[in-house]
Structure 1
């Protein structure tokens, strides 16, 4: 099973059962949206909320463990295709996969901070937790693109079974992630790195690389892996998808910064944010990513009936438009009033990466691990098509 799909009506692929509430294609995504919001807000109230948290672990180590939970979900759902869990019935399958994800999501970053950190000061203490969390920035693309836009190539053509193919993807993703991390991130964090080794400042790295992730998920999820899919050979599709997202992501990065400076962030907030402003390309991008994942996996990738050009154009306008509107709603009201995040300036608040990545994690757990447990969509009654 693929955890993030392109194509039609993903949600309707899940079997209907007597324990599920059968909903119309219009009500189904609304119900999933509300479930994701409610569970995420509950987690926020327990561990994050600056005013109301029962156990407050924000910004660290909550951010580190959250980001690694997402990456472990990529391992289990993307690279291994739920191997080892698919034989279990729901909800046992969901609880088992979630339990392993949480376990590894604590153990792996803990090994970096409390193990490797003894050898490298960049990975110790609170700064080390941030450094460990940033591995996920590179890893989400390094591992995720292999199983999606690259369709598992070359391992998918080698005759390996799912588990062995997953291990091969894991090894390849580890190489890509290590290379990207030590080229782009580590020189900004290590006290021993020479100034000339810093290719991009950390704020630029975060904003630019997240824009590459936006390009990847836009092309794969709502553009059906276009334009890379126009190529005939699988190897050419794989190479063009991997490299092409960097070119497209660069254009997106500069477009995001123009939007942020001109319309989305108040001038006084821009002045206060200062040199860290490039990070806000990622803060905007994460909202668009939420809607891309939601649209392809929950909302049936509507529309499907107008031909490829218009289908993709409408999806693009809807997902990116909802992302921009959500960014504004969050920063202008929701972050301060509901999540109790401190204002940057009056009327502008929040750190979208933490909240929206929590939404993304909860949504993917519900989709991938629990198969929308408790809900199903009426078959053969899709009002979108």
Structure 2
């Protein structure tokens, strides 16, 4: 991979090193993978790390850290960090979001868990951590759709600017998040809930609602809000995105569970048993990783030509990469590289993508999105746009 030089635009003007778009993307991927592996072995690895936090409270921390990043980067559009240059901006976002993730996880498990045993971190199989972090699932749905698909409507109509726009959005959206959490999550896992109170079991909740998030990111980031933008006004676009993502999310849920059958095989599917519905999210998290990397590191290619070809091309590229990553993760990475245990009793595959792939996503968000790929030469197209 060889950096190139931008042609001189004038006498004495310093030439800037640049990279082809694919080399820039691969360089970002390499940095993210290295940062992820080194930190995994030091902090999270179930065999090599002495922390003992795998899989809980590690998973709860990652869920809360990612939603903290969504609040910072999407709801508040990184406005609290706007005056910082790189690498301090990226480092500050990482410290704040990672710190919030740790603080909220601890407050729920050790604080609220002392009041309601349902949230106690000492519950068997990390059930208290799981219940405490399930609210993040519904936060993903609400806050991602609001920012990525709806453009903060209706608060943008008021003329608010950041950080007040983010504060209004954040405060108002707490209400639907809490309602969804109380309706779906709490009855399914609270120690005091009647046995037949749950509308959906936790595995189905995670699988389905995560696929709604996949739909929101796919349509909002990769497809530039197609087809919801066809609805016209901001209000109609918001309504179309809300209803449309629920429908597309259900279709994706069914399809991605089907992908699990194809990739893992009938024997492993049988071993997964009641946890199988959650594998819509397991494939989905691999897709989310590529939907973070593709627009931000690989330039969201293709970018020219007929609109239909461009949108289908991006969808196919990110989906194929997701399925390949899912297969590689379960057959090789989780067990051999990350030392995760078997995915289920009797399974020949290891790990949970909602652990290992979320770890990668966090580093992608910190380095590529917040850190703006600090230290790497810029891609050709970005430099040409800056100097035009």
TM-based fold match above 0.5: yes
- 1:203-262: per-residue Cα shift (whole Å, max 9, x none)? 11111111111111111122211111101110010111122101111111111222322x
Assess if the C-alpha contact under 8 Å between 2:296 and 2:369 holds in 1: no
Distance 1:335 1:380, change over 3 A: closer
- Could you tell me how far apart the structure 2 residues matched to 1:120 and 1:142 are? 26
Q: Which residue is 2:246 aligned to? A: 246
Q: Which residue is 1:38 aligned to? A: 34
- Could you tell me how far apart the structure 2 residues matched to 1:380 and 1:144 are? 28
SS at match of 1:354: helix
Alignment of 1:181-192 (within 5 A): 181-192=181-192
The answer as to 2:140 corresponding to 1:124 is no
SS at match of 2:377: strand
Q: Which residue is 1:293 aligned to? A: 292
Distance 1:39 1:155, change over 3 A: same
Q: Which residue is 1:222 aligned to? A: 222
- Could you tell me how far apart the structure 1 residues matched to 2:319 and 2:83 are? 37
Which of 95, 105, 114 is residue 99 of structure 1 equivalent to? 95
- Could you tell me how far apart the structure 1 residues matched to 2:216 and 2:166 are? 20
Assess if the C-alpha contact under 8 Å between 1:47 and 1:58 holds in 2: no
**Shift, 1:347, TM fit:** 4.0
Q: Which residue is 1:193 aligned to? A: 193
Distance 1:349 1:380, change over 3 A: closer
Assess if the C-alpha contact under 8 Å between 1:333 and 1:347 holds in 2: no
SS at match of 1:284: helix
**Shift, 1:55, TM fit:** 2.4
**Shift, 1:196, TM fit:** 4.6
SS at match of 1:193: coil
The answer as to 2:62 corresponding to 1:53 is no
- TM-score with structure 1 setting the length: 0.90
Q: Which residue is 2:375 aligned to? A: 374
SS at match of 1:22: strand
**Shift, 1:294, TM fit:** 1.0
Q: Which residue is 2:260 aligned to? A: 260
Larger radius of gyration between Structure 1 and Structure 2: 2
Alignment of 1:137-176 (within 5 A): 137-176=137-176
Assess if the C-alpha contact under 8 Å between 2:222 and 2:314 holds in 1: yes
Q: Which residue is 1:10 aligned to? A: none
Q: Which residue is 1:4 aligned to? A: none
- Could you tell me how far apart the structure 2 residues matched to 1:333 and 1:161 are? 47
Consecutive unaligned residues of structure 2, counting only runs of 5 or more, are 1-13
Consecutive unaligned residues of structure 1, counting only runs of 5 or more, are 1-17
**Shift, 1:21, TM fit:** 6.0
What is the RMSD of the two structures over their aligned residues, measured on CA atoms?
2.0
